[in-house]
Structure 1
Amino acid sequence: MATSRSFVCNLCQEDDETRTAVTWCAECEVFLCPECQKHHGRSKMSKHHQVISVHDYQNLPESMLNIKNNCEDHDLKYELFCGFHDCVCCLKCIKDKHDNCKGLVPLGEVVGNIKSSAFVSQVETDLVNLLENLKTIKIFFSENLSALQEQKTAAISQVNTMRQSINNHLDKLEQSLVNDISSEFTKLQEKIGNLKSEIDSKTDQVEEKQKDFSKTVEFSTDLQTYFGLHEVEKIIKQGEHYINNLKSADNLRERKMKVDCWDLESTVTCVRGRTALGRISVQLSSKDLQLKTKGEGQVQSLRNPVLSIVKPEIKQRFKMPKHSAHISGCQILPNSDIVFVDQQNRSLLLFNNAGVFVKEILSLKGETSDICYVRQREVAVTLILLQTVLIIDVDRNEIVKRRVLGGTCYGICNYEQMMYVIVRPNFVLVLDFDLNIKKSIPTSTKGLSRIAVFGDLLYCTHFNGNSVFCYNKEGETLWSFDDAIHLPFGIAIDKNGFVYVACKGSNSIIAVSQNGKESKVIMSEDSGVNKPFPINIDRELSVLVFSNHNGDSFLLSI
């Protein structure tokens, strides 16, 4: 504030005179010298004006000095106050803006005695409170900043400590995973080493027998050769049985060690709960080692096998553990155990090859349909309405994989490391053992029931259509069979390529030739067949299992 400044009388200044002003008229908005002040105080127009000394004027806030007494729009003196608009106005303002306003009062009534009014006291109190609040907020912010500075320092220290903790923990996890890898390798090394030792021993035996065989053929008598050949044949059968056992136990698949490391983000996020940096797993190749054995390929090479060679004999009968059962699928496992799908009770039942019930493997939520072997002790099961295929571990009684296929799932079979699933209305999906879809084969027939695959051909039953269809792997129909067949359901193929069908409507099991032109009833109602439903064949062992509608099941040699 300019306290040393002097002001010139505005009235004298108009007469080109310069005199120092001593007062200020707020209403006239002029500075007055002592002489002009006398005249100003005597004039009828201004004698009631409020006049203050220049000293007091200099103490006025800048905001007060900018307040005008005249209307900015009309340059007339403010005379009235409009309560509706909460503003002062001149006479012209009334006409322009406040013509319809009520409650206009003289300005003097509003501002008179304003300094002694309660409003001044209230405003002063509010101003004091506002100032105190602002100072309190200022202190709050200052203290908050100080606290944040301390928290920042503490947080950085905590992060450093946590980082060290993570480093220490990751070191432990790393060492643990390295130990697991070494341990798994040691197990595999021991197992494969033992198998290799067995192979070495058997190889020596066979090589010795091979030398004896050459000498036998060259030097022995016919009778000696006869007995010698039978002895060699026993060795061959034992060796083939040993190889088949290796194959059944998945020992003829290459084993690969794989480490699945968790991603860094999840490892750090769950660092306190993580017990490993990753997981070591042993994976098997999808195919067995290719060997030359007496197997399916050699038997298939027989020229034109005929249906007359099929002469089944009942080897075993299975009695379901529950009084009421509806068996919709069956599967012979490599060790000759058999798994049945009880559709009525939505469960899987395990029997040994002697016909003794072992256990209920699992009870499922959805309506079960069919089953096939996958690998080791795993089977695949289709759930109709849930449109799902499940991979189930028979020993551990648990689901290990699942896949929704987007259509109602019925028949399923396994052939050469692939699974074939009927998905209605008219598709066959080809899946690998990890349930990845490899191919979709459309069929011209809708509503197929069961499927079997052999070579490059697909064989399917059509329950309601009383037919059996043979397709190539593009879904083209090669032939169909509907002669004397009623409500065909389960289907399986033997090592000769004969097609076996369970016919519920005629209480029979029939065999159909490879070209679909001939058929033979191999089991009938007289043999205990009563509304047969599923059927399955083990080609290597030449055995067939089927189930009647009431759950009674039979194992046949074929």
Structure 2
Amino acid sequence: MAESSNKISAKISSGDAVPGRKEQILCQPCSRKDLQTTADVFCSECDEFQCNDCSKAHTVYMFMNSHTLVNATEVKPKPSSFDMKGMDICEQHGKLLELFCEDEIELCCSACAIVDHRKCHSVVEILKIAGKSRSAGSQLKTKLEEVKSKAEMIVKHTESSKEHVTKDIKVIFVEIKRMRGDMNKMFDDLEVFVTRKTDAFQAEVANKLAKKRSSGEKHIADVTKSLEIVDTALENGTPSQKFIVEKKLKRQANELYRDVDNECQNLEIATAFFKFDETLKLPLLPISACVPGKLTLKYTLPEAKKYVAPVDPIVKLTKITSIKLKKTGDDVKEPLYTGLDFLPDGRLFAVDNLNKKCLIYNEELEKVGSYQLSYHPQSVVAISEAELAITSKNPCKIEFLRVSKTNEITLIRTCKVTTNYDSICLKDESYFVVGTVDDTRPVRIVSMSGEEKDFSVRFPNKKYSNDTSACNYISNTEKLILADKLEHTVYIYDVATNTRVVVKDDQIKEPRGVAVGPSDCILVCSMRTNSIVQISETYRILSSFKLDMKWPYRVCVSKDQSILAVTNCCGGKMKLELFKLTY
């Protein structure tokens, strides 16, 4: 017989955490069915609390006739076998998480539901959906285990890489000693020179690897901790607890997965080797000024990770749908869309500069949502599935908006900046690339928190007035695109090498909007030729597609690079059109 003193465990209803409310012991068999039923008795043989209905089994089965049942109130239950460690408490309000917003996919307490989710359409009790919702705890565990595996691989890589670079350096000295002979003095000086350089490099390598290892070990510790919680929840938690753990740890698991996957893809291999000159001459200068060979100390990525330039495919545009943009009842002026971008789910987001508003369109270009602004918006970029950023030059700021699945738009926060910004796009997960107005730095970098900094690129000492330039950025190759309307030119800067390519052609007249398309091609609105011009990644003009709209103005491409949206700026003939992108 199991020792009941060590195993007695009962579920306590959520009310026990509220001051002044009486503790309620729940029937354990019912709890496993996600039902909340008050326990009436405790069976020491079964080692569990039961309601009257569940305890009837003792009168049905002969082997249970000898079990002793006592009143549930006479036995003090131990706390739940799974400690939520505060995960079921709202961080903002300190209340129990009892609700789940299906619109915004967030756990809520009663205060959250009233303050933050009062406009949402589907806020339900966790107890009602936890048992019905199919738990993804095993998927969460799989992802965490994958993160742990990759982090362990990073740690192993740091060890092997450290040994590898040490062996490489030893080989250098073996080669140096082999060449010594009659030039002992020169090679003594050479050895001193190489030692100084390799010591510095090896120290740098060791420092980088130590940081990489520390990061990997931290990820392992984080994942191990999360896995312990997931394992315990899967083994001992109720469906509600499992549901909360899953939702709480899902974002952390995704962040860990992204960070570790990114580190895995950027594991540098430090190498060191020395190549002697074909003809050795005794130098009159010190060895530091005249080295008889080439010392190479560098980092490289594995061959499989190196970027391979794609072929230059010609993009074809097939019209899907088109609408005329007209002044509606709440508009002050005719619409002018100065910014377009797709959300990941395919909805199109547009900002109307003249009417101070933003709009949402579905895949058939039906308007499904709008939001009134207090300023004239300049441009927009989608940051995630439900978050966008909008630029404003008067006042100078970047506003962050949230879009729900039901097309409701709310303001999240505002970042004040010091420069007038027009066009905006993503540089990476942490930074924007923004085009300036009346500034000698035509393109700048702004963090998600509003921190501003500059590219290490030599730009001409030139200022662009409002609406005379547009920018975009190709993350894969660190290429910066700048369209110059007055010069009828598209400049492409290589940020890594600080070089510039000038693309100028009769097919490009007053370039306005710029988008990045399939295979990192560049799609430019050529306003005076009423066309979309395609520039390849190798800076060749591949095609020019004639539009049936006058003065194309802004263009964007969907996240899966299958749809293109374009609008124009011809008064009285304003349009918004969607095209399918194919090769």
Report the TM range for the smaller structure's normalisation: 0.3 to 0.5
The TM-score normalised by the length of structure 2 is 0.45
Higher RCO (CA 8 Å, separation ≥ 6 residues): 2
TM-score, normalization: structure 1?
Answer: 0.47
Q: Give the structure with higher Rg (CA).
A: 1
